[in-house]
Every structure is written in C-alpha cells, then in structure tokens.
Structure 1
Amino acid sequence: MLIFDADDTLWENNVIFERVIDEFLDWMAHPGLDRDGVRAGLDGIEAANAVTHGYGSKVFLRSLAECLAWVRGRAATAEETARISGWAAAFDGDHVELIPGVAETLAELARRHELLLLTKGDQEEQERKVAASGLTPHFKGVHIVAEKDVATYEELVRAHALVPGSTWMIGNSPKSDILPARSAGLNAVFLPNGNTWVLEHSELDPADEKVLRLAAFGELLHHF
C-alpha cells in the first residue's frame, strides 16, 4: 500500500500562503521591527492557532489579524480587517497546480498498487482541492484528518488492515508525513518541496534506512 500526502506533495499549496505573507510583511513595515521579526511573530501565532483551531486558510487569516494586533499594539480597524479578509480570494477557486510528474506517475502507480490519500486541514477546503485535482479515481480511499500524528497512522493501519512493514507514506513534510509514519512502523518516502511550510520542518535521521529520499515525484516509478 502506498499512502500519499496531498498539499505540497501532489499539488502546490504553501506557495500561495507565502505570497500572501510577503504582501502582509510589506504592509506591516515597522521602524522598530524588521520583516524577520514580524515573520517570527506570525510563525509563533500560527503555531499556537494550529493547536487550537487546526489548519487551512480561515485559520491563517485569523493569524494574520492577530499578528497585526501584536505589531500595532491594538485590534485591527474595520478597514484593516477588510484588507485581511480580501486575501481569502487567494484560496478560492476550483483549480490546483499539480506538481510536475504527479498525474502520469499516479496513473501508473495505481495500476501496480493500491493507493490511499491522507491529508490534514479544514474538511471543506481539502475536499475542494482533492476534487479539483482530478486525482480521486486513483485512490482506494481519501482521508481528511485534523492532525497527522502517530495515532492517525495507527488508525489508518487498523481501518485498512495494512501491514506496516510493507506500507509506505509519501510526503514532503518531515513533521507530519515522515516522522509519525515511521513511529507507527510504516516506511516513508521523503519528497522535499522548497515551499514547505516552516512549521512542517523537522530533522530526519540520516541513518534511517526505512526513509527513501527522492528528488522528484516521477522517481517513485523506479522504486514501486
């Protein structure tokens, strides 16, 4: 069984958030606080909100509003709130940008193996992206979860009667895709994405032989 992450593994996602963040940091220009300082503050706010409110564009926009209040020492004005709300349009629509090689590689892998999709975030938002991708027919099942931790992978193993030692989790996030999957006894494929969210970064054990590191999605065909 091959299990695939979605955002930033099958299609680009965080790059959209980063574009908005760049605009936000320009807007928050502050004589006593440089861009790195504002970004560090935003990262901390996002990390806290992820624990309490989960993931997705709605939580992200909430974090921007809280960061603005932190930088300016007051709540956002109606005009500022409207500007932040306007960024919601960046996450609307029925189109996702597939990462090169994904469509043809998944089509071939689906002929060779059973595939599952495992993604975390807002249910409605993730459902929309999955549908827009056009990739659903390749998967035996699609699972949208609030968090991807060890318990999530263990539950997936039980639900599909998987054999951990012959199951592979494929994704771009060390924190959500690789480390918890390995802790649950699964093998893993790490596919780095230069746009991976900073809060998904984590160190991998270079000596772990059960983690396959690939440079491009299409390379999966050489191993599976």
Structure 2
Amino acid sequence: MPQFPPGQTLLIDADDTLWENNVYFERAIAAFISYLNHHEYSPAEVRQTLNAVERETILAHGYGLPSFTRSLVTCFERLSAEPISEDKRQRVIGFARSIAEQEIELLPQVEETLRDLATRHRLILMTKGDHAEQADKVRRSGLAIYFSAVEIVAEKDPSSYREVLALHQGAPEVSWMIGNSPKSDINPALAAGLHAVFLFHKDTWILEHATLAAPPDGQQLIELDAFAKLSTIF
C-alpha cells in the first residue's frame, strides 16, 4: 500500500534516473586519459584537471555534449607538451562523439514503474542541459507518453523548481523531485519547498556530488536504491 495518496505531482529527472548516461562519459574520459598518456601527471591528476575545465566550460557554455567536447579539447591543449595537431583534435573529439552514438538504455523496471505511477499521480519530466540533445533522448526513450509535460531547463536551482511548479499550478506540499543528483535534484528542490526522493546511482557524475541537505520542517526526503521502489511509496 503506497504511503502517499493519489494526486501527487512527481517531477522526475532523466539522465541516470530513467536511463544510463554518465557511464558513457566515464568510458570516454578513460579513453581520453589513456590516449593523452601523460608522462608527468597521473591519471587521477589528469581527471582533476578535466573536472576543473568542465566547471569552467559549463559556466560559459552550459551542459551537453558540445560543452563536454570543448572540455576534452581544452584539457588536452593544457596538458599536452606540444600543440595539438588536427589529427589529435579529431581523435579527442571522437571520444565525445562515441557518447552520441549510444542507444538509450533504460534503467531496470523504469517503464513499468512509470506506467504504474501515471495511473495515480501527475508525472513531469524535469531535466537540464542542451534542449535539443535532451529532447532527442526523451523522444528515443519512448517514455514521453507517461508524462503530462517535459521541462528542459538550463540549470536546476530553486528558482527553476518554483517556476516549473507555478507553470503547472503545482502545490509544493504535494510535489516531489525524484532524481540521483544531490546537487541538482535534491538540495535545490528542498530549498524551493518541495519534498524529494534521492535515487542512488553508482555512476552519478562527480560534479553532481554533494552532501544531501536535511529537509526543512514539514518537508520529506526519502532515499531509495531502485526506481521500482517508487511504487511502494506513491
């Protein structure tokens, strides 16, 4: 028997909540570090440099594959002992391009669970990143039929959660954000007055790591380790 009555508004993240995503980036990064084969910096130090470059790139260019591609090239240029040739540039770009060629791999029991939840609650897919890129993932996933709306935002912060709820006339006291990122899904949603469900994913992007915030009085934070368990809650 679900804990919460029908009629909840469930905002649900996409990447690494509904389908695999970051694991493909991790494979591309591993290939990039191996190709760079730096003789002075360890693989861990190269990764730290890439993380720093990604933070810079995101601020200037946002999220998505074009931004990630730019970060790989910039990192290679910073760490390479000699100017990057066009052949090497294309090889580095190829590591990022391999991600775009991946099929959408739904996480276990995602579709069945969405089908069930949609019979009792209003589901809104809320993701961040490049609009065309994320919209294409949603289309290819085949999951759009379970959502009353799809919202693709540039950044997930408290104001974006408030705006999405206002747009869809959602009441915070019966609204939840469900996702795998403490930084983007959980903490800002709690700050915006929503409840939240943290879904653990072992490959969550390192730049999305953060300490889970304590829910304010009157709000709830639930932690789960499988998407299918949402049906026992809602």
Choose which of 88, 100, 106 in structure 2 pairs with 1:98. Answer: 106
Give the total of aligned pairs: 224
Match of 2:185 among 174, 177, 184: 177
Task: State which of 169, 176, 188 in structure 2 corresponds to 1:168.
Answer: 176
Deviation at 1:193, TM superposition (A): 0.7
Which of 167, 171, 187 in structure 1 is aligned with 2:195?
187
Q: Tell me the distance in 1 between the aligned counterparts of 2:136 and 2:102.
A: 7
Instruction: Map 1:2-17; keep pairs closer than 5 Å.
Output: 2-17=10-25
1:130-149 alignment to 2 at 5 Å?
130-149=138-157
2:31/2:95 contact within 8 Å kept: no
Matches of 1:205 and 1:191 in 2, distance apart? 14
Distance 1:93-1:27 versus aligned 2 partners, 3 A rule? closer
Distance in 1 between residues matched to 2:102 and 2:47, nearest whole Å: 29
Tell me the distance in 1 between the aligned counterparts of 2:82 and 2:156.
35
Deviation at 1:92, TM superposition (A): 2.6
**Match status 1:220 vs 2:230:** yes
Instruction: Check 1:79–1:216 CA distance in 2 against 1; reply closer, same or farther (3 A cut).
Output: same
TM-score, with length taken from structure 1 = 0.96
Identity in percent:
45
The alpha-carbon deviation at position 49 of structure 1 amounts to 0.8
- More displaced 10-residue stretch of structure 1: 106-115 or 25-34: 25-34
Residues in 2 aligned to 1:206 and 1:218: alpha-carbon distance in whole angstroms? 24
Q: How does 1:1-224 map to 2 (within 5 A)?
A: 1-93=9-101, 95-205=103-213, 210-224=220-234
Contact persistence 2:17–2:179 (CA under 8 A):
yes
Identify the range of structure 1 (209-218 vs 70-79) with the bigger mean alpha-carbon deviation: 70-79
Asked if 1 retains the 8 angstrom alpha-carbon contact of 2:190 and 2:215, the reply is: no
Q: Which amino acid aligns with 1:5?
A: D
Q: CA deviation at 1:76?
A: 2.1
Query: Aligned equivalents of 1:205 and 1:158: distance in 2?
Result: 23
CA shift for structure 1 position 74: 4.9
1:114-167 deviations in whole A, cap 9, x for unaligned?
Answer: 100001111111111000110001000001111111110010111011110110
Gaps of 5+ in 1: none
**Local SS of the residue matching 1:179:** helix
RMSD of Structure 2 on Structure 1 (CA)? 1.4
